[in-house]
Amino acid sequence: MFPERLRALRRGQHITLEQLAEALNQQLSTDDDEHKNTASQIGNWERGVRTPSFVEVRKLAEYFDVTMDYLAGKTERDAYDLSRLFLSGKQLSFNREVLSGQDRYEIYQLIDGYLHGKENRFTNTTPNQQEELDLHLDDH
């Protein structure tokens, strides 16, 4: 699962093996040429020929902004309860914008209201029928 996820992340961002190696090397800027990432090394990871160390997987997860569990394929089996996530102390963001406590509360309320009101929306109409929205535009 790891090779496929790594390849998909890299290709999804249109990054070459060389560009990824350079970016990873900049993350942990050391003058130690022996521990620098190379394009062929990353290619071996993507083909499943070699397995990266824990440190390398962590660098990849940070670079792509995913969890190490995601890279390992674990999160595909997990389910998330958004209410618990919103109420947790974890930092949440949307489109790379960090949500404030007030944002989290309001979004939680919107989702909760949507889900609780969902059953009432379709009591008088069939699910495939669109409701009409009268904005009273002629009144102005």
Full-model pTM: 0.53
Digit-coded pLDDT (tens) for 76-124: 545 667 787 777 777 888 888 899 989 988 998 999 888 888 877 665 5
Digit-coded pLDDT (tens) for 37-85: 999 999 999 999 999 999 999 999 999 888 898 898 876 545 667 787 7
Domain layout of the chain by residue ranges = 2-77, 82-121
Closest CA to 42 of 20, 58, 23, 13: 20
Say if residues 73 and 1 touch (Cβ distance below 8 Å): yes
Q: Which long-range contacts (CB under 8 A, 24 or more apart) does 52-60 make?
A: 56/24, 57/2, 59/24, 59/27, 59/28, 60/6, 60/9, 60/24
| 2-77 classified as CATH 3.40.50.300 | no
Closest CA to 85 of 72, 76, 94, 73: 94
